[in-house]
Amino acid sequence: MNLPEDKDILRGDIRSVARAIRAVEDDWPGSRALLVRLFPHAGKALTLGITGPPGAGKSTLVDRLTTHFRKAGKTVGVIAVDPTSPFSGGAILGDRIRMQNHATDDGVFIRSMATRGALGGLSATTAAALLVLDASSKDILIVETVGVGQDEVDIASEADIAVVVLVPGLGDEVQALKAGIMEIADLFVVNKADRDGADRLASEIAMMLSLTGETKGDRPPVVRTVATSSQGIEELASTIDEVRARRETSGALAARRRERLLRQFETQVDALLRERVRRRIDALDPSQHLRERVQNRTIDPFSAADETLAGLDPAKP
């Protein structure tokens, strides 16, 4: 569990970056201090959140976008938040498949992150991994999540630009699920746009957007792609750049980054307190008597929590 050297992370050495991310993900000793040291070096990258229903082709789209950014001379870091496989223990799609087109390219770093068992919560872990990548001098950070599930949608919505990927022809309930992510989009992608129903989907989106009351110029643009054949990727990249420029001018980008930092601060306060409280609960309840009572239903969880806090001075370490 040796931490990598700061300087190796900062220069983007792939093994050191990978080890640093593992360290913050698994909460190795010293990993928090590492994040503190890396923080001043971060804050320069543009962060894209890419989300959408299962089957929308997000990982292919991310792959093609990565290729595009690399051709434009930009370095890219990808955090793909994948559902965890119960058997392999690893994330389903896995780094290996995702890496196949970029395996020999030092300017690309790709990491799958498991959705379950993330210490300190998925959101905190993803933020920490993005901080490492940002400090490692990546120009573009992409965080890809499935657009279902509260944490997953939140993570994408906190990016500088949230891209929502939809596809024609998913089932009714799947279409309904989309609605939960419509509101976070700064940009829509209709992927698999060569399929039947692409026009209808695009006009459905336009109609929903027209209901928001925003003037047309302020509404999120809609880009059509066929990621598998790289169709529309160039247009997507230039639209992303337009959205970035517009949000920079309007101050929306800066505001979102400020929001994100505030959330990270609050999450850290929560995490520190929770850790402190857990230690104090152990100290106050060494025989686990209170927890035993909770489990036997001789006290309700609410009153037990009151009792814990009454006997607690979390100001002490």
Q: Considering only residues 4-63, where is the footprint of a copy of itself by CB under 8 A?
A: 32, 35-36, 39-40, 43, 53-55, 59
- Among 272, 282, 283, 289, the residue binding a copy of itself under the rule CB under 8 A is 272
Told to check if 231 binds a copy of itself by CB under 8 A, we report no
d(CA 2, CA 13): 16
Sequence letter at residue 222: V
Taking CB under 8 A as the binding criterion, the range among 13-21, 98-106, 167-175, 243-251 that sits at the site for a copy of itself is 167-175
Q: Are residues 247 and 161 in contact, defined by beta-carbon separation less than 8 angstroms?
A: yes
d(CA 84, CA 94): 10
- Among 17, 76, 122, 162, the residue binding a copy of itself under the rule CB under 8 A is 122
Told to check if 281 binds a copy of itself by CB under 8 A, we report yes
Told to check if 187 binds a copy of itself by CB under 8 A, we report no
3-class SS at 101?
Answer: coil
Q: Are residues 273 and 312 in contact, defined by beta-carbon separation less than 8 angstroms?
A: no
Alpha-carbon Rg for the chain in angstroms: 22
Q: Are residues 125 and 24 in contact, defined by beta-carbon separation less than 8 angstroms?
A: yes
Taking CB under 8 A as the binding criterion, the range among 14-22, 67-75, 84-92, 196-204 that sits at the site for a copy of itself is 84-92
Q: Looking only at residues 126 through 155 of this chain, which bind a copy of itself when binding is defined by CB under 8 A?
A: 146, 148-153
Based on CB atoms, which residue is closest to a copy of itself, 37 or 200?
37
Based on CB atoms, which residue is closest to a copy of itself, 14 or 182?
182
Q: Are residues 76 and 188 in contact, defined by beta-carbon separation less than 8 angstroms?
A: no
Q: Are residues 61 and 191 in contact, defined by beta-carbon separation less than 8 angstroms?
A: yes
- Among 30, 261, 282, 289, the residue binding a copy of itself under the rule CB under 8 A is 261
